[in-house]
Amino acid sequence: MKILVVDDERDIVELLSYNLEKEGFTVIKVYDGEEALKLVKAKKPDLVILDLMLPGIQGIEVCKTIRGNPETATLPVIMVTAKGEEVDRVVGLEMGADDYVTKPFSVREVVARVRAVLRRTEAEKQPEKETFSFGGLEIDYGSHEVTSQGKKIELSPTEWKLLVFFARHPGRVYTRDQILDHVWGDSAFVTPRTVDVHIRRLRAQIEKDTDNPRFILTVRGAGYKFADVR
């Protein structure tokens, strides 16, 4: 598989390239946003590792352009941000990044995240399953039935939609605004904090310990994700 690594720090590009190639990936190196967009079109990589701060076209704009083109809209993007810049991470996720890592990072972590995102991407291409099972949580999408540890759970329509959305996309981080768009849609007049309220209610239904949830996890400074089940 081909990985496009985009960063203006050449040492980082070389470090990532060396380790990704050791894992069997083909790496395309690029050092600015404009050239990155050209190579996305020309080389058709399977995943992009994209630094937020680039000369010329910024990483956020590169990600936005990738998502806005029907030919590349589903191309996985892992955003690289500076340590502690929570706002940047949220904006990156809002622009469609599939995951993010913060500098300074562990190369092993980056490789693991690349593999995880590629697994999710491949899984999402498969036909959707009729049932879901993980850690004692059972979902039957056809009958709208949910059980947790063998106990039948009664969910409200919104709680059901929220649970199905997360279970269909395990391991991926979503901001509150993204969750609102997917679950509530554009017509509903609700605030991002509505997501927190409904997730709290949903956890009360499906989790043994709501203070230490196993299924729907909080990602500090970014949003929420369902546990990676693969």
Q: What CATH number corresponds to the domain at position 84? A: 3.40.50.2300
114 and 147 co-located in one domain: no
What pLDDT, on the 0 to 100 scale, is given for residue 86?
Answer: 67
Angle value at C-alpha 34, between 28 and 37, nearest 5 degrees: 55
Q: Taking Cα atoms as reference points, which of 97, 64, 104 lies closest to residue 78?
A: 97
One domain for residues 157 and 49: no
Q: Are residues 105 and 79 in the same domain?
A: yes
Q: What is the mean pLDDT of residues 6-10?
A: 94
pLDDT band at 62 (very low <50, low <70, confident <90, very high): very high
Rounded Cα gap, residues 31 and 39, in angstroms: 11
Q: Which two structure tokens, joined as six digits, stand for 129?
A: 């399953």
**Full DSSP string of 180-191:** IIIII-TT----
Residue whose C-alpha is closest to residue 50's, from 1, 101, 2, 125: 101
Residues forming a β-bridge with 137: 134, 148
Q: What is the DSSP letter of 170?
A: B
Structural domain of 195: 131-226
Question: Would you say residue 49 has pLDDT above 90?
Answer: yes
Q: What is the pLDDT of residue 96?
A: 80
Q: Are residues 7 and 120 in the same domain?
A: yes
Alpha helices in 69-192 (DSSP H): 86-94, 107-125, 157-168, 176-179
- For residue 161, give the CATH number of its domain: 1.10.10.10
- Calculate mean pLDDT across residues 152-156: 91
pLDDT band at 93 (very low <50, low <70, confident <90, very high): confident
The residues pairing with 139 across neighbouring beta strands, listed in sequence order, are 132, 146
- Identify the weakest region by mean pLDDT among 3-17, 29-43, 48-62, 76-90: 76-90
Question: Do 87 and 40 belong together in one domain?
Answer: yes
Residue 18 has pLDDT above 90, yes or no: yes
Region 58-84 average pLDDT: 87
Contact 27, 16 (CB under 8 A): yes
φ/ψ region of 75 (left if φ > 0, alpha if ψ in -120 to 50, else beta) reads beta
Query: What is the count of structural domains for the chain?
Result: 2
Domain boundary among 65, 96, 125: 125
What mean pLDDT is predicted for residues 118-128? Answer: 71
- Do residue 140 and residue 53 come from a single domain? no
Given 93, 125, 157, the domain boundary residue is 125
Q: Give the mean pLDDT of 87-95.
A: 74
Residue 124 banded pLDDT, cuts 50, 70, 90: low
* Number of CB atoms found within 10 A of residue 166's CB: 23
Rounded-to-integer distance, Cα 132 and Cα 138, Å = 6
Q: What confidence category does residue 226 fall into, taking pLDDT thresholds of 50, 70 and 90?
A: very high
The model's confidence at residue 127, banded by pLDDT at 50, 70 and 90, is low
Residues 71 and 180 in one domain: no
Q: What is the pTM of this model?
A: 0.65
pLDDT at position 120, please?
A: 79
Same domain? 90 vs 198: no
What CA dihedral angle connects 220, 166, 20 and 4, to 10 degrees? -90
| End-of-domain residue from the set 125, 159, 183 | 125
**Tell me, what's the pLDDT at 15?**
95
Q: Is residue 120 located within the same domain as residue 135?
A: no
- Same domain (yes/no): 14, 121: yes
Can you give the pLDDT at residue 83?
62
Distance CA 52, CA 59 (A): 4
Look over the chain and give the mean of its residue pLDDT values, rounded to a whole number. 88
